[in-house]
Amino acid sequence: MAADRAAVVGLALFAALVAIAVVGPLLTADPLARDLDHGLTARGAPLGPSAGALLGTDPLGRDVWARLVAGAGTSLSIAAGATTLALVLGLAVGVVAGYRGGWVDGVLMRTVDLTLAFPALLLAILVAAVLRETSLATSRAPVVLVLALVSWGLIARMIRAKAMSVARSPHVLAARALGASPRRIVMRHVLPQLVGVITIAAVATFAQVLLNESALSFLGLGPPPPAPTWGRMLYEGRAYYRSAPHLVIAPGLAIVVAVAAVHLIAQGLRSSVEEPR
């Protein structure tokens, strides 16, 4: 099937990105090392791609490839952390709302609606700007927290719909009639039926988190310097898009490839869950 082939391509691309993020730093130059003597032209401009610098250098003489590799680790780790946190919160809210129903469902879903009423990126910018003033501003924690807070709502809504359907299924009703506790029913009968939707929600959220993290970094609200991120590399290279286009092409292409790879995986997962075998 086309969806299966697309998923394989996406998985291969994503695996390559993860391998680069994990192994790349061991094989590349220091992404923070400046070389103003040899890393710039005689006029002080960034060098283009060459044998010595695969993707050229930036305005401070730093190796763009090394920074791109380091940025992969930063961006992917932040996206993974935020997605995990959002998944835990969304799963808890979605399962409780879907299984319990009634006023509990109403209260939780109105909370989700309130979260989703704000554009995710604008809400992320607002919360990130507030957290930027805290003592956590020197770590990645605020970025992970912000991205999770703007992402959990959609996960909760997806899981709630499936949990509500499963809670009304015959085997769950039979377990209730036999006196099984709600905790046992959820753990033994509900959660196993949610694996597919949980996986799809996690993958789709990961792609969106990657985009939002890049946007926050571009606006200066991402991980604090000197940690390289793809979004900050775009920001730093924006003034050189004509004279040194590699400064924006490299991180921009990395973001596109990463997000496209995850979307291809999500597309394949949706097809495998929705289409009968």
Residue 42, pLDDT > 80, answer no
Distance CA 246, CA 99 (A): 52
The three-state secondary structure class of 227 is coil
Instruction: Give a yes or no: residue 161 inside a domain.
Output: yes
Where does the pLDDT of residue 96 fall: very low under 50, low under 70, confident under 90, or very high at 90 and above?
A: very high
Domain carrying residue 112: 2-18+64-274
Residue 135, pLDDT > 80, answer no
Number of domain units in the chain:
1
Residue 277, pLDDT > 50, answer no
Instruction: Give a yes or no: residue 51 inside a domain.
Output: no
Residue 131, pLDDT > 60, answer yes
Report the pLDDT value the prediction gives residue 276, as an integer from 0 to 100: 47
Report the pLDDT value the prediction gives residue 66, as an integer from 0 to 100: 92
Distance CA 74, CA 54 (A): 20
Report the pLDDT value the prediction gives residue 3, as an integer from 0 to 100: 60
Instruction: Give a yes or no: residue 190 inside a domain.
Output: yes
pTM of the model: 0.87
Q: Which distant-in-sequence residues (6+ apart) come within 8 Å of 102 by Cβ? A: none
Q: Which distant-in-sequence residues (6+ apart) come within 8 Å of 129 by Cβ? A: 221
Report the pLDDT value the prediction gives residue 87, as an integer from 0 to 100: 95
Report the pLDDT value the prediction gives residue 249, as an integer from 0 to 100: 93
- Which residue matches tokens 């094989």? 27
Report the pLDDT value the prediction gives residue 177, as an integer from 0 to 100: 84
Residue 138, pLDDT > 80, answer no
Instruction: Give a yes or no: residue 46 inside a domain.
Output: no
Over residues 86-108, the mean pLDDT reads: 92
What is the per-residue pLDDT across 210-267, written as a single tens digit (0 to 9) for each? 999 999 889 888 887 777 899 999 998 888 888 889 999 999 999 999 999 999 998 8
Q: Which two tokens stand for residue 39?
A: 């890393």
Q: Which distant-in-sequence residues (6+ apart) come within 8 Å of 20 by Cβ? A: 69, 72
Instruction: Give a yes or no: residue 133 inside a domain.
Output: yes
Report the pLDDT value the prediction gives residue 56, as an integer from 0 to 100: 87
CATH number at 84 reads 1.10.3720.10
Instruction: Give a yes or no: residue 57 inside a domain.
Output: no
Task: Say if residue 226 is preceded by a cis peptide, omega within 30 of 0.
Answer: yes
Provide the mean pLDDT of the chain: 86
Distance CA 61, CA 45 (A): 9
Instruction: Give a yes or no: residue 56 inside a domain.
Output: no
Q: Which two tokens stand for residue 96?
A: 């409780």
What is the per-residue pLDDT across 163-212, written as a single tens digit (0 to 9) for each? 998 888 888 888 888 888 888 888 888 888 898 899 999 999 999 999 99
Over residues 35-58, the mean pLDDT reads: 80
With a pLDDT cut of 70, the percent of the chain lying above it is: 94
Instruction: Give a yes or no: residue 42 inside a domain.
Output: no
Distance CA 16, CA 262 (A): 12
